[in-house]
Amino acid sequence: MSNVLTELSTAMATAVSQADSGIVRVEGRRRFGATGIVWHADGLILTANHVLSRDDGLHIGLPNGERVSASLVGRDPSTDLALLKVDANDLTPLTEGNKQELGVGNLVLALGRPGRTVQATLGIISALGDGWRTRLGGEIDRYMQTDVVMYPGFSGGPLVNTAGQLVGLNSSALGRGASMTIPTATLARVADALQAHGRVQRGYLGVSTQRVHLPDNLKAELEQKRGLLVVSVENDSPAAKAGLTLGDTLVSFANSPVQSHDDLLALLAGDVVGTAVPAKFVRGGQVHATEITVVARS
């Protein structure tokens, strides 16, 4: 048994050592440091959005001990991610782990660099699930919960497997009372959007809605139980230009049924911005069709 424990202990220490060069300190708020991960060797750093209380005066503590200025490339509060840039081109990104080898019960390490050196805490994957949406509407590609203790300054740092490979980025702001990890697929998608636009583009219709039950005849016709009652329409908005008005019930968007606000948010991803999207709504008991040209949310 002692040999097994010794081997496990050595493997954990090796994993931390291998990941060390891809972990940085982020100085974006008063008093408390946070953590970031090297995303690209040319100086791109990913961290948690909530650890940045300002847009300028940012600094990064590099693994070699050097402290350098950083500029903000962009933020996405809805996924709690921010992308920074430092003047460096020889950084070492973390190697991505194989997500297919990750299962509930697997050992993982949460790493942080709130000070000059890397700190670590050990835990397990406690839950894995399908993609989910945050309370601000951000799309997370996979539900990943751990039982690791998120010490102060660990937000924005990596979750790594026993080989020191990147599993995701830890955040204490997404789950109430739970340690949540943003998977690498989400990191890549959001980082690309922030680098291209400075933000994640999301579509905007200009309506407020409320979920309602449909009459029995429409349930049978549309093969869905609910729709979204339009309770307000902003002047000169995409919805107004498409003819939607107060009292209409939106039942379909982009050829998909919408039965909740989350359904609509999921269909307003950045790739629909600037396009004419087919929609169906109920008015006076009849189903009508229209097209809504989606614009980017400002």
Residues carrying an active site annotation: 50, 80, 155
Beta bridge partners of 82: 47, 75
CA dist., res. 202 & res. 67, Å (int): 35
Q: Looking up tokens 């790739």, which residue turns up?
A: 271
Q: What is the CA radius of gyration of the chain?
A: 23
* Token representation of residue 72: 């903000």
Is the Cβ–Cβ distance between 249 and 282 less than 8 Å? yes
Calpha distance 157→30 (Å, rounded): 18
